[in-house]
Structure 1
Amino acid sequence: MRLTEVTYGSARAIEGYGPGFFRVAGHVLRGPCLITPWDAGPWGGLTDTSAPLSLEGRIDVLFVGTGTHIAHVPQAFREALEGQGIGVEVMASPTAARTYNVLLGEGRRVAAALLPVD
């Protein structure tokens, strides 16, 4: 079997995570983060819809990582994003990070809003 290294070009991939942080494109971000192919920075958490909504027209799907374990997101959060045409996929943060990277490698229009793991 031949394995091929995944390259992301100039897009920002999630390189790692640990208790309270994410490493994205060589930078460590602490706390909740919003990660896109072109930027990564702090995010206000599940009550902050303004930052993800600013991605309207630039992404198709937002992967929401709810920390160590999968949990429900507030209905208002989901409705706000889906109402603007942004799909919301909820999963634990480690799974969301991996899924983001896989689809980023495929050139898909994705972003990740991640709550840190314990």
Structure 2
Amino acid sequence: MRLTEVSYGTAKAVEGYGPGFFRVAGHVLRGACLITPWDAGPWGGYDDTAAPLSLLGRIDVLFVGTGASIAHVPKAFRLALEEQGIGVEVMASPTACRTYNVLLGEGRRVAVALLPVE
């Protein structure tokens, strides 16, 4: 069997996470964060729909990592994005990181909003 390493080019992949942080493209981000193929930074949580909505036309799906385990996101948050045409997929943050990286490696138009794993 031949194994090859995934190349993300210049895209920002999630390299790791731990209690209260995510490592993205060699940088550590603390707390909730929003990661796209071209940028990574803090995110204001479910009250912050402006940041993900600013990605309109650049992404098709936003993965939302809800922390250590899967949880419901507020209906208003989901509707604000879906009404503008951004799909919202909710999962635990570790799963959201892996899913984002896989689809990023396939060149898909994705982003991930993550709540930290405590």
Q: Match of 2:51, as an amino acid?
A: A
Query: Is 2:83 aligned against 1:83?
Result: yes
* Percent of matched pairs sharing the same residue: 86
Match of 2:7 in 1: 7
1:37-57 deviation digits (Å, cap 9, x = unpaired): 000000000111000000000
Match of 1:46 in 2: 46
Match of 1:107 in 2: 107
Work out the CA distance in 2 between the residues paired with 1:75 and 1:14: 27
> Structure 1 residue 24: deviation in Å?
0.2
Work out the CA distance in 2 between the residues paired with 1:57 and 1:12: 18
Scaled by the length of structure 1, the TM-score of the pair is: 0.99
> Structure 1 residue 108: deviation in Å?
0.2
Work out the CA distance in 1 between the residues paired with 2:84 and 2:16: 30
Q: Match of 1:41, as an amino acid?
A: G
Work out the CA distance in 2 between the residues paired with 1:107 and 1:113: 18
Instruction: Write out the 4+ residue segments of structure 1 that deviate beyond 6 Å after TM superposition.
Output: none
Q: Count how many residue pairs are aligned between Structure 1 and Structure 2.
A: 118
Q: Where does structure 1 lack aligned partners over 5 or more consecutive residues?
A: none
Q: Where does structure 2 lack aligned partners over 5 or more consecutive residues?
A: none
Query: Is 2:89 aligned against 1:94?
Result: no
- Find the residue that maps to 1:80 and give its secondary structure: helix
> Structure 1 residue 3: deviation in Å?
1.1
